Amino acid sequence: MAKITFIGAGSLVFTKNLVRDLLTFPAFEDCTIALMDIDQERLGYAKQTVDNIIAAGNYSANVVATTDRAEALTGANGVVCTILVGDLPVWRTDLEIPKAYGVDINIGDTRGPAGIFRFLRTVPVMLDICRDIERYCPDAVFLNYTNPMAMLCRAMQGETGVTVTGLCHSVQGTAAMLAGWIGAPMEEITYTCAGINHQAFYLDYKWNGKDAYPLIRDAVLNRPEVYNEEQVRNEMYLHLDYYVTESSGHNSEYNAWFRKRPDLIQKYCTHGTGWNPGEYALTVKHAELRRSDWQNQMIEWRDSAIDLQRGNEYASYIFNSVFGDGTLFEFNGNVRNFGLIDNLPEGACVEVPVLASRKGLSPIHVGPLPTQLALLVNTSARCEELAVEGALTGDPRKIFHAICYDPLTSAVLSLAEIKSMVDQMFEANKEWLPQFKHYC
C-alpha cells in the first residue's frame, strides 16, 4: 500500500482536491494519507474533509493527521507541499514597501522584490523538509506547490538529493482557456510549452494536429470579450507572437511594459474581466478578509458537496505513473536546465515537459526559445539564479543585485532608490532571515 504525505495540509482547498484525485486511481484506493500541518486546528479541518471524501467514495484508505513531520514522512512514497511561511503582517510589507517607492506590485509571490523576499523566508523551511525526506523517505517523489516556485525548486534541486519538481496549474489551465476561446474540445488539443514558471510559452498549440494560433489571434483581435478577459497576456501575445501561461495579474509584474506608470495600470490592469486587480491594496484586502474569516471558510470547504470526479491537477497522475499502475504521464514541471532549453542559463530552474514513469521523472529537451522570448525569460531566470545564490550564501549584496535587474523595479527606480528599498525590506524581514548576518 502506498503512503502519500501532505505537508501544509491546512491549505484545505489543495488538500481536498488532491486527495479526491488520488483516490480515483485504483492503485491508491487503500493508501495511507498522512496529513501534516503546524496548525492543529487547520489540521483538524483537513482530517474531517479527507474522512468525508473517503466515506463518500467508500474507499478503504487510511488517514493519519499529525503535527510531527517525521511521523508524516516516514515511509512515504510521495510528498506534496503547500506551505506558506510568514503571516499577513510580514507578507504585506513585500507589497507595501515597494509601493511606497513607486513599484506597484500586484500579487508578489513569484519574482521581483516581493517574490524574492518571500523566497528568502521560505527556503530554509523547504530545505529542512527536503533533509527530512532524505532521512525518512529518501526514495519519495516530492511535488511542490509552494511559491515562489522556480527559486524554491532551484534551491532544493541544487542542495539536496531529493527527487523534487514543482507544479503549477497555469499550464493546463491556460491551455483549456485557449481551447474554449476557439471552440475546441480539450482532448483534441496538443501543445509544447516551455520557459520558466509563470513565464512559459506555448511554442506550438495545435487542434487535431493543425496550428491553432491563427484561430487564437482571430479571437483576441475580433472578440472584445476575449481580449478583455486577459488584457495583459493578450497584448503580450499580439506583440511577442506566443501565448504565456500565467494570468494577466501576475504577468503585469514580470516585465517593464504594464505597471511602470499609473496610466498604464489604468489602461491594462484595471478593467479586465478576469481576476486582475490593478492595485496592490486589493490583494491585501482580499488576504485580510480570508485571514479574518478563515474558520468559516474552512467549515464551508469542509462541508461543501463532494465531487468525486478527478480534476486536472498533475499530482495524482504523476504518483500513479511512478508508484501506482505505471501509466506514462507527460506534464510540465520545474526542473534544472541541464540541456533542456538551449538559450536559457545552464542549471537554472526551467518549466518544461517531463515524462513520469516507473523510472521516475525524465525531463524532455525542448531546444531554444524564440529570441524575443529568450530575452525576456533570461532576465527573470538570471535574477532568480542570483537570488538563490544570495539566499544560500547569506549574502545580502547578491539579493540587492538580483532586485536591481528586476524589469519592473529597474523601469521605475534608480540604483540608489533600489538600495534604499531593499534595505527597508531586509529590516522588515529581519526576524525571518537569520541566515543574513548583515544587510547590504
List binding-site positions.
Answer: 147, 168, 198
- Annotated binding site for Mn(2+), which residues? 168, 198
In angstroms, rounded to a whole number, what is the distance separating the alpha carbons of residues 284 and 261?
Answer: 21
Q: Give which of 207, 151, 149 is closest to 183, Cα–Cα.
A: 207
256's grid cell:
517593464
In angstroms, rounded to a whole number, what is the distance separating the alpha carbons of residues 237 and 163?
Answer: 34
Distance of CA 54 to CAs 14, 51, 65, 203, 335, Å?
16, 5, 14, 40, 33
Q: Are 395 and 386 in contact (CB under 8 A)?
A: no
Q: Are 260 and 411 in contact (CB under 8 A)?
A: yes
In angstroms, rounded to a whole number, what is the distance separating the alpha carbons of residues 323 and 387?
Answer: 35
Q: Are 414 and 396 in contact (CB under 8 A)?
A: no
Half-sphere exposure of 257 (CA within 13 A, CB side): 17
Those residues whose C-beta lies under 8 Å from the C-beta of residue 218, and which sit 6 or more positions away, are none
Q: Are 352 and 364 in contact (CB under 8 A)?
A: yes
Catalytic annotation present for 169: yes
283 phi and psi angles, rounded to 5 deg = -65, -45
Q: Positive or negative, the Cα torsion across 333, 71, 298, 294?
A: negative
CA 222 to chain centroid: 32
- Annotated binding site for substrate, which residues? 147
**DSSP letter assigned to residue 26:** G
In angstroms, rounded to a whole number, what is the distance separating the alpha carbons of residues 62 and 60?
Answer: 7
Share in percent of the chain as helix, strand, coil (round to 5): 50, 15, 30
Q: What residue type is assigned to position 66 of the chain?
A: T
Task: Compute the chain's Rg from CA coordinates.
Answer: 21
Distance of CA 272 to CAs 199, 228, 440, Å?
20, 5, 39
Those residues whose C-beta lies under 8 Å from the C-beta of residue 385, and which sit 6 or more positions away, are 154, 345, 347, 348
Distance of CA 106 to CAs 4, 89, 234, 253, 294, Å?
34, 17, 18, 7, 22
Catalytic residues: 169
